[in-house]
Structure 1
Amino acid sequence: VRRYFRYHREFVEGNTLYDTLERMKKIVEKAGVDPKDRSVVLPAREAAEDARRRKNDGKGCKGVFCGAAIEIFLDSDKTVIVTGKNSSLLYAESAAILNAAKIIANIPDEVDVISPNVIQSIIQLKNLMRLSSTSLDVKEILNALAASAVSDEKARKCIDALDKLKDCEMHTTHLINEGNEKTLNQIGLNLTTDARLPFPDETFAPNYFI
């Protein structure tokens, strides 16, 4: 199934032919497998739709609503799927990573683990550099965690929890930028994506390819 999503992404990026994607689709169908059965696919899509519904609460960014989901292991036989939504502050992938780390570290969702001063400093720097987006990507959120961990034990616990994300499954609804993908791979996540393009879509329901 991960290979099927990879071929679809390569097709979206113009790196493989439609005939190749169709052949892969037939292989998946012959095997009796539905890509939607991948545990993190539907939760990621549901997170994107929830972001759309909560746009008045600050979810989504510039009319684009993205979702990400990670399946984490809490013990040998219990898994939990954690989601993240994009906003003007965080990429969906960044939100999912932060939420997963907090759950593994047993830190309540409402507790802030990153210093607001650190976040503000990063945003100011991005504005100064005239970057197109001030949303914090995965590497930036990890750097913010590291900076906060100097004086906050909760942030330190979140950093320690990142090691437990290795070999976990992750899915995103939108095409992942190169920087986020590199960092997620370094963490060791098994990543797939619907590879939707980041165009404003608040006026119509998204059409997923499967």
Structure 2
Amino acid sequence: MNKVGFSAEKYIEEQSQHILERINAEKCERLYLEFGGKLVHDKHAMRVLPGFDENAKVKLLEKMKDHAEIIICIYAGDITTNKTRQDFGITYDLEVLRLIDTFRKYDLSINSVVVTRYEEQPAVDMFINKLNRRGIRTYKHKFTKGYPTDVEVIVSEEGYGANPYIEVTKPLVVVTGPGGGSGKLATCLSQLYHDNRRGAKVRYAKFETFPIWNLPLKHPVNVAYEAATADLKDVNMIDSFHLEAYGEKAVNYNRDLEVFPVVKRIIEKITGEESEYQSPTDMGVNRAGFGIIDDEVCKEAARQEIIRRYFIAECNYKKGKIDGGALERCKLLMDDLGLKPLDRAVVQPARDYAEGKRNCDPRYENVVVMAIEMSDGKFITGRSSRRMVAAAAAVLNAIKYLAGIADDMPLISHTALEAIQHLRKDILNQDRSSLNCEEILSALTISATTNPPAEIAAEKLLLLKGCKAHCTAILSDKDEQLLNSLGLDVTCDPEYVTTNLYFG
């Protein structure tokens, strides 16, 4: 049984109250609220704060939907480089489309999509055309002249004035994006400039989750944030501005601290008044720390997340997605907390089973094993074979265990497996005949129509959500996405299944 360390209800209540306080402040006609982190499906927060609702933020906005509209920002460079969201395995441009669909499900108003630092790239123009032809309003914001040092130019017709104004109508404008560096802050400040030119009194604030300002600097939850953003080189620091202004320690991160003096001067230049904010922590609306109800549970969850991020970094380095600096950063964070890869309990059973197979029979030299840690603490393993990949075997064995079905009882007939393999190998001309997770689960659900044990086992798939798993080789993109869809928390050793350079 997973322990709870965080109260989602208390968090939503606290966060809602503080947002309303910002909106209802004197002389405020509109609040531009930049959303740091994921607005929906915040799985990082869910992992490090057990009990956190991954959709808490969007549910909060749903309550305020009559007063809110959403602007989605995406950096043009992330489109051209096909930057990928790790947890869903989709590129940032596709993530924008997914976000729009998700927001619509919550009946939230989508104002527009803003492409930031636009440079007339063909791939970016194709994306803009796709949105326009589906009825999504788009804006192009080029690099702001003078940024970040020349405030006189930034706050002028040559700077923010060169951006088209995004027509907004509601008192709360949520500015979000598919990930860090999407240009959310610049979009907010550009809007502040245009609204003030039109005589409107508007404010800016930032909806934050991590780092949690009122937790210690080296608290595992805050360290886990550094691990999650190692490729962005984010570093948690004591907010020196907050300490000087109030004599109170607060945790923030390097990018916010570096940009704060400039942002403060920009806001003062735009409004012609002294800024209400004395520190980057002041700018944030972050009540996550007040939702923690069991600190030890959250600490342990965060330690596991740091190890998880290290495994991901190792695999991404092997794939060429990150440089050595990002991997070394993750390793240093592990060392700082005295953590080792084997502190993720599910790793050793997977490696032991693979090593045992290799030692007992040379035919298993290239065997791949996946282990799944069940909610009761038992480890279930599955190995690769000519029939199926290791992940598929492990999932089948896990649901057999949950259903109380004997390990030697087949859930899928050999005839069905052979038919799918024939399709793959002889008709579709695919190199590998071993069936992937999706094919195996499709065969299982078909078998369930005539085989009662298969039906019972298939119903247990839902119970895999939240279980940890580890594979002794890098998973294919398809298998990784399917396991993520099942809610499994999966890591891998940084080894490829074959020496082939193309790995689908």
Q: TM-score band (shorter)?
A: 0.7 to 0.9
TM-score, reference length from structure 1? 0.87
Matches for 1:1-210 after TM superposition, within 5 Å: 1-53=307-359, 55=361, 60=364, 64-73=366-375, 78-127=376-425, 128-199=427-498
The residue aligned with 2:3 is: none
Higher relative contact order (CA 8 A, sep 6+): 1
Cα distance in structure 1, aligned partners of 2:353 and 2:385: 12
Distance across 2 between alignment mates of 1:190 and 1:24: 18
The one-letter code matched in structure 1 to 2:356 is D
Amino acid at match of 2:370: A
CA distance in 2, matches of 1:14, 1:105: 41
Deviation at 1:199, TM superposition (A): 3.1
Q: How many Å separate the matches in 1 of 2:353 and 2:387? A: 16
SS in 2 for 1:15: coil
Give the Cα–Cα distance (whole angstroms) in 2 for the partners of residues 103 and 54 of structure 1: 26
**Coordinate RMSD, CA, aligned:** 1.5
Q: What's the offset of the Cα at 1:87?
A: 1.0
Aligned-pair CA distance for 1:47: 2.2
- The alpha-carbon deviation at position 55 of structure 1 amounts to 4.4
Distance 2:428 2:356 in 1: 32
For residues 69-126 of structure 1, give each alpha carbon's deviation from its aligned partner in whole angstroms, at most 9, with x where no partner exists.
Answer: 10112xxxx3211011111111111110010010000000011111222111111111
In 1: Cα distance, 2:495 partner to 2:444 partner: 29
Structure-2 residue corresponding to 1:207:
none
Over residues 2-26 of structure 1, what are the superposed CA-to-partner deviations in whole Å (9 max), with x where a residue is unaligned?
Answer: 1111111111111111122112111
Partners of 1:175 and 1:114 lie apart in 2 by 26
**Deviation digits for residues 105-157 of structure 1 (CA, Å, limit 9, x no counterpart):** 00000111112221111111112211111111110110110111110010001
TM-score computed with the length of structure 2 as normaliser: 0.37
Structure 2: distance between partners of 1:158 and 1:49: 29
8 Å Cα contact 1:7/1:21 also seen in 2: yes
Check the 8 A contact 1:172/1:194 in 2, yes or no: yes
| Residue 54 to residue 99, structure 1, CA distance change in 2 (3 Å) | farther
Shift of 1:198: 1.9
Could you tell me which runs of 5 or more consecutive residues in structure 1 were left unpaired when the two chains were aligned: 201-210
User: Highest Rg: 1 or 2?
Assistant: 2
What is the rounded CA distance, in whole Å, between the counterparts of 2:317 and 2:492 in structure 1?
12
Could you list the runs of 4 or more consecutive aligned residues of structure 1 that deviate by over 4 angstroms after TM superposition?
none
Matched residue SS, 2:492: strand
SS of the equivalent of 2:354 reads helix
* AA aligned opposite 1:81: F
Quote how far apart the aligned CAs of 1:186 are.
Answer: 0.7
